[in-house]
Amino acid sequence: MKIPPAVYKAARSAVAQLPQEGQGPAILDQRQAASLQASVQKAVPGTSDAVAREALALALAAQQEARGAGLGAFTATRREPIGELPAGQAFSGLTLLIAHKGGADVVGDVRAELEDALGQSVASLRPSDLASAHELVAELNNPALVAELDKVAIGIVREEVASLSALSQDIGAMPRAPDGRATEALNRRYAAEITPRVDALLDYEETSGRSLRQLLVDAPPQASATISASAKRAIASIDKQLKTGGSRGLEAEVATRDDAEMVLAHFATKAHDEGAPLLDTGAMWPRLIKDLVGKDKSFHWDDAFEARGDPPVDVLKGHYWDPERDGGQSRAEYHHATRPHLQMDLGGRLEVRVYMPRPGGLQDPPPFGGSQ
């Protein structure tokens, strides 16, 4: 069941006629509900009872948010397109407590205008709707509406990326070949469940000109007021390697995770000050990082181990590990797969790995250079 834009618009108009006096909540009785439904059906002849009721429920919810009553939870949990709500459920919205705050403010007006333009409530927008919604609103040549949609889009994008990140980890945790190679089953799941959703976000990025990465960056980092000797040595070592140039894979060592946090705070603050903040991609499986936001100017922690091979050896999850390869593994490959580290991708394909000691209690591989 779809709600045509004209029906939703009629519902918005009908709901706008509700009395707004007083600050307290108001309850719609059955007579008022029937009257609203009749208004919608009069404005758009042929509208079924169910469609009219559903449109009214959404219009009421949108009005409630526009008036500042807050619709955070609704926005966060509702992702169904308007037409896919279970019939009857939506109409229960007419018995909701409607918090009338007395007069829509400017923000509320813009939100209502945006919803009129879209022909649907912003709460019903899905990530895959964002690109076309942006195109539609941009055609109206009204910067206030574009700004309002941008504001709405941030929440939708962040929620979608959080969901994709969790899903990518789930898929990334599927069994792999002993050398870390993704299996066919893993690739199929990724292509079916992740790729179309990433595509939708990229469509929005390309249509709107807004950067997904910029929508995801959080508050600026806080550099540590005090810094340990181990962290200081690591920062100095990385700075020296950066000045020397020539290598894309820089390494440093610290004694503890806290030391590594201090190193991260130092470089994240610097990146932020230079206008290209580091994005925390720790919640994403590596393939999603590359697909969605790119590795440049990001950081993540690689510190989760999994057993691979026979006899089993604990190596970092998802990392390339092929000791039987002709010619053997390089020292860098060996360390990368076996030692927990902070990875900072500082831009221009420059990777910095800050290695921490390998925890005790793991199934260790033979030392590098031995019979791996």
Partner 1 sequence: MSDLEDVLAGFPAPVAARLRRAEVVAAQVPAAAAGRVAFVGVHPVGARFKVARFEVPEERLAFDLTPDLLEDEEEVDVTAGELVAALKRFGIAPEQLRSPMRAGYPV
| Positions in the binding site for partner 1 (CB under 8 A) | 179-182, 187, 195, 198-199, 202, 205-206, 209, 211, 213-214, 248-249, 274, 276, 286-287, 290-292, 294-297, 318-320, 330, 332-333, 336, 347-349, 351
Smallest gap from Cβ 195 to partner 1, in A, equals: 8
Strand intervals (E) in the chain: 25-27, 97-99, 249-253, 279-280, 298-302, 305-308, 313-316, 341-347, 350-355
Q: Is residue 54 within 8 Å of 82, Cβ to Cβ?
A: yes
The token pair at 344 is 């900072």
Query: Residue type for 72, please?
Result: G
Name the one residue in this structure whose structure tokens are 């980092």: 221
Residue 19 is classified by DSSP as -
Smallest gap from Cβ 204 to partner 1, in A, equals: 11
**Residue 308 or 336 with smaller CB distance to partner 1:** 336
**Residue 89 or 211 with smaller CB distance to partner 1:** 211
Smallest gap from Cβ 140 to partner 1, in A, equals: 20
Q: What is the CA radius of gyration of the chain?
A: 27
Residue 295 is classified by DSSP as S
Burial of 22 from C-beta contacts in 10 A (0-12 / 13-18 / 19+): exposed
Residue 256 is classified by DSSP as S
**Residue 4 or 178 with smaller CB distance to partner 1:** 178
Residue 17 is classified by DSSP as T
Smallest gap from Cβ 251 to partner 1, in A, equals: 12
**Residue 49 or 199 with smaller CB distance to partner 1:** 199
Smallest gap from Cβ 207 to partner 1, in A, equals: 8
**Residue 57 or 268 with smaller CB distance to partner 1:** 268
**Residue 17 or 132 with smaller CB distance to partner 1:** 132
* Pairing of β 279-280 and β 249-253: unpaired
Residue 92 is classified by DSSP as G
Smallest gap from Cβ 211 to partner 1, in A, equals: 5
How many CA atoms within 13 Å lie on the side-chain side of 264?
24
Smallest gap from Cβ 275 to partner 1, in A, equals: 8
**Residue 233 or 295 with smaller CB distance to partner 1:** 295
